[in-house]
Amino acid sequence: MYWFKERIKEHFIVELKIYQVGKSSKYPDGIKYSLICKDLKTERQVLMDNHHPKGHHIHLDDQERQYEFHSTDKIVDDFKKLVLEHFEVKL
């Protein structure tokens, strides 16, 4: 399991949770995760998660799109890139 939570630049909250679960139809990769960066002033967010029934996906504010899972390392790298692009904040 991996868990990290931090407040950044006074108004961003970042929380990363990644943990192994048994492989199943709900979690065929055996991984469950939720990575979020939220602007506490504007409520804008970058969120990556893989809950059932949606599978791997990304939320950018109110927009949602599918995400192609490769590895947990890549999830974290992709999340950092999205936060930099969306908020201009480097994690």
pLDDT in tens, 40-89: 999 999 999 999 999 999 999 999 999 999 999 999 999 999 999 999 99
pTM: 0.93
Burial class (CB in 10 A: 0-12, 13-18, 19+), 65: exposed
- Per the listing, tokens 């969120």 go with 47
The backbone torsions φ and ψ at residue 75, rounded to the nearest 5 degrees and listed phi first, read -55, -50
Residues facing 37 on adjacent strands: 14, 46
Helices (H), ranges, the chain: 72-87
Would you state the pLDDT for residue 7? 96
Average pLDDT over residues 10-32: 95
Cβ contacts of 24 within 8 Å, gap of 6 or more: none
Contact 13, 5 (CB under 8 A): yes
Would you state the pLDDT for residue 83? 97
